[in-house]
Structure 1
């Protein structure tokens, strides 16, 4: 292992030791008010982006920006190969930026894009797209690939599967985590929301999970046909109302492999980008709310819905 890899690994371990941990996370969850919760966060390493006076949306943004800052710092310690892997993991933030761009192109309010620095891949070529058709064209020419349509829901769904595929390719435990998360995403859309996958999403899911589980007629059959890498995420889940149970294992499964420093911060998922659709429309299915089969009026473009969530364990 090179000196740069050692330095990166040490840096990642140091960041991981500063995470909140179960005790303080539980204390945060049990706060009597939002003000109390934000005050607790502001006194932790998340104080880099969270202050005591913030409202909920600002505090959520601050947590995400703190994670991004630490990932950018970590990337500076890693050799080129490690920085490339970390860029793949940090594509969460580029995906959040694309979600926000889609909202702006639809004429709806959206959050400001995250400043990605060296962790950006396609964003500099996407951010000034004049309409969704132009965005699709630029995505096609990027590592994200062709989303297959200009429908915003389709783009969001296909890009999440594209990101899962890129995480899958990192190898090691990242492969199993990404396959399991993609399985939960597909199951949530097909059996939780009752929607057929668009062609581009179907093709990506087939490549990662296999045609047999992706095209199964029932959730139990899908779980039974998933391969070893993905089966664990849906093991024992036959009823769409129980899809929320798949989120726990996804949160607990660590990512590792050839790039331990990147995986330590990246593949252990925790919190995903919120894409707030203030004007209504389709949203990605939430396994945790699969009991509610009614169409949602708020489109949540977050990876939280699928379990594809990056952890903020660096704080």
Structure 2
């Protein structure tokens, strides 16, 4: 766990990230990353490529962390790194339409759950069948949306089983459900609804509006949507989720005990830093702006 704490030095940090966000242009911002942990984000990259480079740097650190653990430790990290496998599957499904070649898949190593099989899928139906036969479970649909929401809810449910991350996972499941139901007006596929009910309780899934949904949530998940009355403001709740994740991660890393909480805290701290850097690059691409808005949403 000493190594886990040491790995968190591979962060840009809040002050430098604010400076990055204030850059007058994306090329200027990328040049300032040259000597940072995210130096592999090319100076002439597009915004999408640069943000992908930042994510790849995070994944590399998580793979290093997994490599330090005994064989039984990797399963603890897989749910926390599930977003990379989801991104791979989303890109694979997009490639089936023929609209554009998929980006090179993230290399997951020991952090992969079913990607070694999924990458050989040749149709949306095959993707769904392979997911159903894996720990991901059946997403309940083979459309790009159905697979994406199914995998994201499955990731939240799996992460909820990682003790120190349970509250974050419950909050993430609440935000995902609220956005799908009350922003997009979607009816969740049956398997997704079942997983959501496992995490949030069935009462919340029967809510008729966002306020009703919030009031029906268990305490461990309600915090994520507290104070949000209008679905249009859910973006603020999502930014606050990241801010709370960062605050909790720092508390875990400051603790004196060694154990899963230190490991989970390190993963969260690295993930928050990468998220903030990606957000800062987007602000720089728009001409620069303050990043403090995300800090202001913790309360």
> What is the TM-score when the length of structure 1 is the normalising length?
0.78
Secondary structure at the aligned position of 1:176 is classed as: helix
Match of 1:37 among 24, 29, 45: 29
CA contact (8 A) 1:171 1:258 kept: no
Name the counterpart of 2:167: 176
In 1, the alpha carbon distance for the partners of 2:267 and 2:177 equals 22
1:176 is displaced (CA, Å) by 0.6
1:258 is displaced (CA, Å) by 5.5
Matched, 1:262 2:253: no
In 1, the alpha carbon distance for the partners of 2:36 and 2:48 equals 18
Matched, 1:11 2:7: no
CA contact (8 A) 1:188 1:243 kept: yes
Match of 2:64 among 62, 73, 91: 73
Matched, 1:95 2:95: no
Mapping of residues 258-297 of structure 1, within 5 Å? 259-267=260-268, 269-270=271-272
1:265 is displaced (CA, Å) by 3.6
Secondary structure at the aligned position of 1:90 is classed as: helix
In 2, the alpha carbon distance for the partners of 1:187 and 1:51 equals 36
Name the counterpart of 2:144: 152
Match of 1:190 among 164, 181, 184: 181
Secondary structure at the aligned position of 2:227 is classed as: coil
Name the counterpart of 1:21: 13
**Range moving further from structure 2, 246-255 or 125-134:** 246-255
Higher share in helix: 2
Name the counterpart of 1:124: 116
In 2, the alpha carbon distance for the partners of 1:132 and 1:219 equals 32
Name the counterpart of 1:54: 45
Match of 1:164 among 156, 167, 171: 156
Name the counterpart of 1:64: 55
In 1, the alpha carbon distance for the partners of 2:216 and 2:263 equals 31
1:52 is displaced (CA, Å) by 2.1
Name the counterpart of 1:286: none
1:261 is displaced (CA, Å) by 4.2
Name the counterpart of 1:237: 228
CA contact (8 A) 2:139 2:189 kept: no
In 2, the alpha carbon distance for the partners of 1:51 and 1:42 equals 8
Name the counterpart of 2:255: none
Gaps of 5+ in 1: 1-8, 273-315
CA contact (8 A) 1:220 1:238 kept: yes
In 2, the alpha carbon distance for the partners of 1:237 and 1:215 equals 18
1:87 is displaced (CA, Å) by 2.1
Higher relative contact order (CA 8 A, sep 6+): 2
In 2, the alpha carbon distance for the partners of 1:237 and 1:191 equals 12
Describe the superposition over 1:145-178 as per-residue Cα deviations: whole angstroms up to 9, x where unpaired: 0111222211110110000111110012x10100
In 1, the alpha carbon distance for the partners of 2:22 and 2:89 equals 33
> What is the TM-score when the length of structure 2 is the normalising length?
0.82
CA contact (8 A) 1:82 1:259 kept: no
CA contact (8 A) 1:189 1:195 kept: yes
